[in-house]
Every structure is written in C-alpha cells, then in structure tokens.
Amino acid sequence: MKIILIGNKLDLDDTRVINKELAEVKTKEIGAINYYEISALYRINNQEPFDHITKVLVEDSKKF
C-alpha cells in the first residue's frame, strides 16, 4: 500500500496546530512515501500529490 500524507489548510498557517517538522516525522513513522502541504482554497500544491502517486503507481506496475 502506498500512502501520501497531506496537510490541508496551508492558507491558515497562523492557526496551525501541527508544524511541518512534526508532520514530516509522522510521515516517516507511518511509512508514507511523502508529505505535502496544500491549500484547497487557494489551490496551492493541489496537483503535486496526485502527480507523485500516479508516478509511483506507474513505476510499480512496470515491475510486474
């Protein structure tokens, strides 16, 4: 199973509860392949997680 951890509400940085460093530590703890911070409201980094997981899945499918 492939997991990408995504933190939303990047546009509300001043009310952040979990900082980026903690999120990156958790990413490693759960064995996720990457961590992205996004803002759905302002459409920041919204495409990158999907591009990354698509690339990983295509690469994995070539192994079979």
53, pLDDT greater than 80: yes
Q: pLDDT confidence of 25, banded at 50, 70, 90?
A: very high
Report the distance separating Cα 36 and Cα 64, nearest Å. Answer: 28
In whole numbers, what is the pLDDT of the chain averaged over residues?
Answer: 94
Q: What is the mean pLDDT of residues 6-17?
A: 92
Report the distance separating Cα 48 and Cα 29, nearest Å. Answer: 22
Predicted TM-score (pTM) of this structure: 0.83
H-helix or E-strand containing 64?
none
DSSP state of 33: S
Q: What is the mean pLDDT of residues 14-23?
A: 93
